[in-house]
């Protein structure tokens, strides 16, 4: 039985393979390095009939998508440079399949750091020394060969025990939060930045790893040094510094959940643990504040 489709239309399509896991090892003499990724490859194009007419002749299978990622990982020298690796995948897809108009690649780069053994970096041993990951999202369109690149970092957990305050906020009959001039500030940083260029010939020469390292450094340095009046103010300071330093970046977004640590009431135990004497805190899993912002460059003025 077919549904009455006279009053509906296929508005959007996208399909492919998600959660493609791979570890790429580079053997360079006595020293080796490795990169672990989780990749998603999605396609769109002249594929409507696979939905509307059960016509599979236009379907590049999701298994083919998985094989494509693994094949390019074997051939590429850029797997650790995830923005370039993603562009290699999207470029291959558009060259290989004439009826595909858009290729979408999202990559998570998992953290492996070289172990220090006997005071020296070990040539082939690594440790997972943090939960943060690098991310990228690349979309390549056949029309105009336009490429959009976004980079990011997630799960960068930071905490400082002082140097943060929050007071002077709006109050009404529902406000119970007290002003504080000294508090613990902790958050799990999630950030994403979009690049100005859309031309493959330009994007091939962007130093994506260096910009990622710089964004992380500015984020952590600002977090540590700023006498934070609020999460909002510290976040904006991070963003404006990054845009000032990196003209390649068009805009940058942050999402900073406020990880709350609340001083415990130990008065029933005969202990003073309040105000300046607060030393024992209860980490609260939820609810948590969530502060977000995107800062972008103003459009160039037209003369």
| Binding residue numbers for 5-hydroxyisourate | 62-63, 166, 183, 231-232, 258
Of these residues, 38, 49, 62, 278, which one is catalytic?
62
Residue 18 · residue 74 · CB < 8 Å = no
Per the annotation, the verdict on 13 as an active-site residue is no
Q: Which residues are annotated as a binding site?
A: 62-63, 166, 183, 231-232, 258
Residue 89 · residue 75 · CB < 8 Å = no
Contacts (Cβ under 8 Å, ≥6 apart) of 59: 47, 50
Other Cβ atoms within 10 Å of 122 Cβ, number: 14
Of these residues, 92, 110, 260, 278, which one is catalytic?
260
* Calpha distance 238→223 (Å, rounded): 8
Residue 24 · residue 79 · CB < 8 Å = yes
Of these residues, 17, 66, 246, 259, which one is catalytic?
17
Per the annotation, the verdict on 17 as an active-site residue is yes
Q: Is 13 exposed, middle or buried (0-12, 13-18, 19+ CB in 10 A)?
A: middle
Contacts (Cβ under 8 Å, ≥6 apart) of 146: 140, 198
Q: What contacts 24+ positions apart, CB below 8 Å, involve 128-133?
A: 130/156, 131/155, 131/157, 132/156, 132/157, 132/189, 133/108, 133/109
Residue 301 · residue 294 · CB < 8 Å = no
Q: Which residues are annotated as a binding site for urate?
A: 62-63, 166, 183, 231-232, 258
Per the annotation, the verdict on 167 as an active-site residue is no
Q: What angle do CA 292, 294, 297 make, to 5 degrees?
A: 165
Contacts (Cβ under 8 Å, ≥6 apart) of 108: 37, 38, 39, 133, 134, 135
Q: Would you name the residues annotated as active-site residues?
A: 17, 62, 260
């Amino acid at each position: 039985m077919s549904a009455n489709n006279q009053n509906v239309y296929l508005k959007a399509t996208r399909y492919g393979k998600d959660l493609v896991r791979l570890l790429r090892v580079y053997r360079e003499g006595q020293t080796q390095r490795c990169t672990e990724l989780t990749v998603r490859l999605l396609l769109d194009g002249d594929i409507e009939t696979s939905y509307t007419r059960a016509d599979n002749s236009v379907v590049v299978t999701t298994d083919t998508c998985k094989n494509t990622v693994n094949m390019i990982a074997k051939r590429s020298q850029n797997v650790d440079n995830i923005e370039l690796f993603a562009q290699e995948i999207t470029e291959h897809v558009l060259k290989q399949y004439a009826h595909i108009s858009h290729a979408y690649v999202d990559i998570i780069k998992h953290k492996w750091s070289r172990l220090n053994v006997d005071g020296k970096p070990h040539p082939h041993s690594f440790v997972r020394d943090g939960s943060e990951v690098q991310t990228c999202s690349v979309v390549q369109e056949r029309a105009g060969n336009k490429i959009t690149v976004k980079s990011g970092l997630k799960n960068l957990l930071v905490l400082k025990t002082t140097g943060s305050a929050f007071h002077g906020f709006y109050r009404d009959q529902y406000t119970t939060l007290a002003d504080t001039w000294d508090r613990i500030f902790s958050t799990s940083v999630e950030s994403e930045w979009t690049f100005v260029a859309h031309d493959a010939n330009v994007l091939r020469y962007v130093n994506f790893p260096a910009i990622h390292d710089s964004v992380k450094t500015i984020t952590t340095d600002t977090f540590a040094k700023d006498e934070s009046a609020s999460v909002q103010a510290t976040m904006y300071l991070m963003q404006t510094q990054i845009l000032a330093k990196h003209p390649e970046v068009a805009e940058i977004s942050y999402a900073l959940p406020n990880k709350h640590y609340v001083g415990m009431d130990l008065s029933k135990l005969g202990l003073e643990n309040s105000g300046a004497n607060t030393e024992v805190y209860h980490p609260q899993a939820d609810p948590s504040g969530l502060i977000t912002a995107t800062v972008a460059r103003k459009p160039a003025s037209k003369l």
